[in-house]
Structure 1
Amino acid sequence: MLKIAYSPIYKHSLPVGHRFPMEKYELLPGQLLHEAIVHEENFFEPHPLDEKWILTTHTAEYWNKLENLSLSKSEIRATGFPLSKELVDREVTILQGSVQAAVFALKYGIAMNIAGGTHHAFADRGEGFCLLNDIAVTANYLLANQLSKKVLVIDLDVHQGNGTASICANNSDIYTFSMHGEKNYPMRKEISNLDCAIPDGTGDELYLSILQTQLEIILKDFSPDFIIYQSGVDVLESDKLGRLSMSIDGVKNRDSMVLNLAKSLQVPIMCCMGGGYSANVAKIVEAHTQVYRLAQDLYF
């Protein structure tokens, strides 16, 4: 059974009127149910993650600041959101959604989180709509509990997974791969195990060719027994922040390439949704929906 993390807090704790497309967190599960891709029993509602697992990844000082809402004005500005208890609760719930989805993936081969992919959060600070890093927390949870020995992070959001790269830099059991816009945010890139910066305007054919080459490089260097996939859809041509030229079909082919890789290797995969900022929220929802269709077709 395809298990999917979803909580109403994913949407309702975000500030009203913010440019971040919070509607997708409500519209995506509705679309999945409308198309009968999944049913109510496929969803599970995560609760906040125990802080001991947060502290495997984030510093105690930073976590204390979040808990007490004591970030400085500049630290708050870097996150892109006004700080609130509801926002912190949201992030901690997202962490549990990704961790629990990863555990379900061990059982079923694949599982998803409607939210997550908060790859700009560093151990000691938040950035770019991300307060806590669910990708790094999930990888560390799997390793600490001996549920995995080698975790591969495939991050295909248009923005580099700078926080994930920084957090995991000294852990040889986590391999971070980020394929992102060369001239896009963040302007100061971190160093992943493998970074692939692509030029503005890159379309489907070139993107998919480059991705195939990068995946082949990874598998020569690293043998994962778990994959975390950040499947951001801000690579779309319609995206306000993306600067690439990919079509809906191109994104589908990208997701298919990653899911087929995981299945061919017989390696469990947890997918988190990442970014998407098209003016038409229906395009964001459709682009995200495709990966759920693929998951059902390939695995169930």
Structure 2
Amino acid sequence: MKIAFDPVYIHPLPAGHRFPMEKYELIPLQLLREGVITPAQLFAPTPLEEAIILYTHDVDYWHKLKHQTLSDREQRRIGFTQSPALTLREITICQGTIDCALHALQHGVALNVAGGTHHAYADRGEGFCLLNDFAVAANYLLRQLLVKQILIIDLDVHQGNGTAALFQGNDQVFTFSMHGANNYPFHKETSDLDIPLTDGTDNSTYLTLLEDTLPTLINRVQPDLVFYLSGVDILETDKFGKLKLTQAGCRQRDEMVFSLLHQHGIPCAVAMGGGYSVNIKDIVNAHCNTFKAAAEIFN
């Protein structure tokens, strides 16, 4: 198992955004302290090449990010004030997801401590997402003829609207999103498969829906690789999620995904996605449980 960690941190962060960003520093530290991983399993990605960005994103939009010319309205939609450090961080995250995918193809599984920027469209960013790392990585793999069929399993509490829009009409990438029906984004795109969840969905309901869906989906799509967005904003402690899953339920979700993929011999690249619980230890513990489940099942 290899783990991409993000060596680029943004200082100063916009007001109110430092707390959730701290998890990217704390996750690898906790995994190392608990002996789940060793330093040899960590790697720091380099920034993504411009040509690969343009497989997915419009050149005009990329130039706005590169040259810091986003309008005030565009920055408000993203939720961050533009800065060179922010753009550098985003392209580093995207390269980390590509690197994870390449490692997963060889060894079964790899995880990006960051990533899951599923609200980014070809021509704009939204919801704290500038570039869409799963889309960038998927298009890279397809362009390089390394895979023929990809499945994106998006279990963040928010619909992967940017991802859905980017792959509409693309038969080589199947998008599946199970998300809060009444949560952001309030205008949903159409994934290949969407399962909207009512507020207050608990462990039993959530896990039963997932168990009923995933095996059929795997058999239908027969992917060469899965991108899995393992957001922990499904937790009952999350400030914005509106669902009622416990830490144990969240871990069972991850174990269900990993067990099924391992059973079918399907490699998996993982990104962490969202998590906004009041106590940061709830966020970090839930994300670390994803790494633990991957290590136990794939190693």
Same fold (TM over 0.5): yes
2:75 aligned with 1:82: no
SS in 1 for 2:21: coil
2:100 aligned with 1:101: yes
SS in 1 for 2:106: helix
Q: Distance in 2 between matches of 1:249 and 1:23?
A: 23
TM-score (norm 2): 0.97
Contact 2:57 / 2:121 at 8 angstroms: preserved in 1? yes
Q: Which amino acid aligns with 1:43?
A: L
Q: Which runs of 4+ in 1 moved over 6 A?
A: none
Quote how far apart the aligned CAs of 1:217 are: 3.7
Quote how far apart the aligned CAs of 1:216 are: 3.3
Q: CA RMSD in A?
A: 1.1
The residue number in structure 2 matching 1:226 is 225
**Is there any run of 5+ residues in structure 1 with no aligned partner, and where?**
none
The residue number in structure 1 matching 2:249 is 250
The residue number in structure 2 matching 1:139 is 138
Q: Distance in 2 between matches of 1:17 and 1:31?
A: 26
SS in 2 for 1:219: helix
Q: Which amino acid aligns with 1:252?
A: R
1:106-160 deviations in Å (ceiling 9; x for gaps): 1110001000000000000000000000010111111111111100000000000
- Structure 1 pair 123–150 and aligned structure 2 pair: CA distance change class (3 A): same
- Residues 100-249 of structure 1 aligned to structure 2 (within 5 Å): 100-249=99-248
The residue number in structure 1 matching 2:13 is 15
1:223-246 deviations in Å (ceiling 9; x for gaps): 111000000000000001100000
| More displaced 10-residue stretch of structure 1: 185-194 or 215-224 | 215-224
Quote how far apart the aligned CAs of 1:96 are: 0.3
Contact 2:14 / 2:80 at 8 angstroms: preserved in 1? no
| More displaced 10-residue stretch of structure 1: 169-178 or 12-21 | 12-21
Quote how far apart the aligned CAs of 1:295 are: 1.3
2:279 aligned with 1:276: no
SS in 2 for 1:154: strand
Q: Which amino acid aligns with 2:31?
A: L
Quote how far apart the aligned CAs of 1:188 are: 0.2
- Structure 1 pair 160–3 and aligned structure 2 pair: CA distance change class (3 A): same
Contact 2:6 / 2:114 at 8 angstroms: preserved in 1? no
SS in 2 for 1:196: strand
The residue number in structure 1 matching 2:36 is 37
Q: Which amino acid aligns with 1:235?
A: I
TM-score (norm 1): 0.97
- Residues 280-299 of structure 1 aligned to structure 2 (within 5 Å): 280-299=279-298
Q: Which amino acid aligns with 1:19?
A: H
Q: Which amino acid aligns with 2:156?
A: D
**Is there any run of 5+ residues in structure 2 with no aligned partner, and where?**
none
The residue number in structure 2 matching 1:67 is 66
How many aligned positions are there?
A: 298
Q: Distance in 2 between matches of 1:236 and 1:14?
A: 28
The residue number in structure 2 matching 1:260 is 259
Q: Distance in 2 between matches of 1:290 and 1:247?
A: 12
1:207-261 deviations in Å (ceiling 9; x for gaps): 0001112213423431111000000000000001100000000000000011011
1:78-97 deviations in Å (ceiling 9; x for gaps): 00111101000000000000
Quote how far apart the aligned CAs of 1:291 are: 1.1
Q: Distance in 2 between matches of 1:160 and 1:34?
A: 33
Contact 2:215 / 2:260 at 8 angstroms: preserved in 1? no
Identity %: 48
Contact 1:3 / 1:44 at 8 angstroms: preserved in 2? yes
Contact 2:152 / 2:176 at 8 angstroms: preserved in 1? yes
SS in 1 for 2:242: coil
Q: Distance in 2 between matches of 1:108 and 1:222?
A: 21
Quote how far apart the aligned CAs of 1:18 are: 2.8
SS in 2 for 1:12: coil
